[in-house]
Amino acid sequence: MKIAVEGCAHGQLEKIYECIETTQRRERIKIDLLICCGDFQSVRNHEDLGTMAVPEKYQHMCSFYKYYSGEKRAPILTLFIGGNHEASNYLQELPYGGWVAPNIYYLGRAGVVKFGDIRIGGMSGIYKPQDYLQGHWECLPYNQSSLRTVYHVRSLEVFRLCQLRNKIHVMLSHDWPRGITDYGDTNKLLKWKTFLKEDIESNRLGSVPAMQVLRTLKPDYWFAAHLHCQYAALVKHEDTEMETKFLALDKCLPKRKHLQILDIPSEYDGELCLRHDVEWLAILKNTNHLLSVRNMNCHMPGPGGHGRFDFSPTDEEKENVIRLLGSLVIKEESFVRTAPIHDPNARKVVPTVPILNPQTVALCEKLGIDDPVQVVMARTGRAMKQPHAAAPREGIRSTSSEENVSQVVSQSPSQTPMKSSRLSLLLPAPVTPSNEKSLQATSPETTTVPDTPESTMFYECRTPMSMGPKKTFKRRNMSNYTPDPDESVSTRSSSSFDDSPRSSKLPYRGYQ
């Protein structure tokens, strides 16, 4: 099994798939899964552009709409998390994950899935301390505040991730875990990103909850993006032999290190399809009562309280989830186009009413959990919009599930009820002098990073880029890490959640 990991996609799906195709042809390999670490920009039409928290001059359709409409099909199963440059109205339709287009799956605000015998987890969005403890109160129409807070990480998702007890092999976040620069070559990073020096020295760079999850779950790999550079680190966990290999990747631009290939032994292939993770779904069910949609701070339960605070599921609770779902396979046929496909001549209108997504409806009904947006709408007495059912554009194949949209939606309640052997993950061998010349003759380029703690292959995008006048880009990412006066200084304290040891260390032969 081979897995490709992409940094910030920024809507450049066509170029990313071109890089993968070139890599497969040159290396004579087959890549089974693509993972993207945020800023995916699943923009379906002009309406979605209005829900992206970027200046209007940066609101571009890019190429995702072609895969949503059916004009093109993703050539490889694609899995992604959300970042801070997203069509938030679309991702809010799928808080627990779902297909955003055929063969393209969103992990949700946080989620865990299985591909083969590999468990992949992720947390979407970026960390802002002033919003971390709040409920999921955002809903269309967004104002200037909620347009940004909607993608901020919340404590509920972090609490849920920290309930996991079984081994997570690959973990994803958009921004970096706080303090990760203590475990890699920071001097090299500062040569490339000099403006990060102050935040690194004051320990304000990155996400506090992401590091909490890293320390709690101790995954084999942690991939991130956001800062548009490549950075590797090796975190050794105390009182155990476990290690987490961290790698941040760049965005999809020419001659940038934005693509990483993982080579996993065939004995762990398992069933090469996307499947629900039973433990994660049981945690969602167990913690549904903790969901808040209020614009105020809410604290998760902990030791010393009067109720349950450890929601790690029992075997009986897991078996109950399996009975409720019937099949754990996440079938692509459940995808439904809930909004119109892109029309270049359409008038740009900012959406004001959220759309009911049949995928979320079906999962919530089976598990008995709540959709945050439906709860917000029920509290305000508003009705959600039904999925778009217009005829597909001529020449574009319609998905079979669209024919049953009305049937799926009719099953939802009119009002949401209120809540009362050892695994070896391998990387390809580094480029050697004997083959370096031949590799440079093709595109994309392959290079090594000898002064980082890993020996890996990076694939630099050399796909055609449109030529135009030179633009000056602002360092908008700097604002994401602007110090907040109310942020706690104690950022590396031990997790308040259970930090019990996971399974034995998984060896990694790519790091030397």
Each residue's pLDDT tens digit, 166-208: 999 999 999 999 999 999 999 999 998 999 999 999 999 999 9
| Buried b or exposed e, range 379-413, using 16+ CB within 10 angstroms | eeeeebbebbeeeeeeeeeebebbeebeebbeebe
Distance CA 49, CA 42 (A): 10
**Residue at 258 is within a domain:** yes
pLDDT for 402: 52
Please classify residue 21 by burial: count the beta carbons closer than 10 Å to its beta carbon, then call 0-12 exposed, 13-18 middle and 19+ buried: middle
Strands 445-447 vs 458-460: parallel, antiparallel or unpaired: antiparallel
Give the whole-number percent of the chain exceeding pLDDT 70: 76
Put simply, whether the predicted model's pTM sits higher than 0.95 gets the answer: no
Which letter does DSSP use for residue 445 in this model?
Answer: E
Task: Please list the ranges in the chain whose pLDDT falls under 50.
Answer: 390-400, 404, 410-456, 461-512
**Residue 397, domain member (yes or no):** yes
The reported pLDDT for the residue numbered 347 is 84
- Using alpha carbons, list the distances in angstroms from residue 362 to 180, 335, 499: 39, 12, 33
Question: Is 508 a domain residue?
Answer: no
**Residue 80, both tokens:** 């992604």
Cα 108 from Cα 110, distance rounded (Å): 5
Q: Does 351 map to a domain?
A: yes
The pLDDT value given to residue 440: 29
Q: What is the pLDDT of residue 418?
A: 43
Whether 279 is covered by a domain: the verdict is yes
CA distance 336 to 358: 7
The boundaries of the domain holding residue 321 are 2-163+247-469
Q: How many domains does the chain have?
A: 1
Q: Are 102 and 70 in contact (CB under 8 A)?
A: yes
Please, which residues have CB within 8 angstroms of residue 205's CB and are 6 or more apart in sequence? 176, 178, 181, 196, 199, 481
- Considering the domain boundaries, does residue 112 fall inside one? yes
Label each residue of 396-425 as H, E or C: CCCCHHHHHHHHHHHCCCCCCCCCCCCCCC
CA distance 246 to 505: 16
Decide if 434 is inside a domain: yes
pLDDT of residue 43: 97
What is residue 266's predicted lDDT score, i.e. its pLDDT?
82
Residue type at 266 in one-letter notation: S
CA distance 95 to 108: 5
Question: Is residue 507 situated within a structural domain?
Answer: no
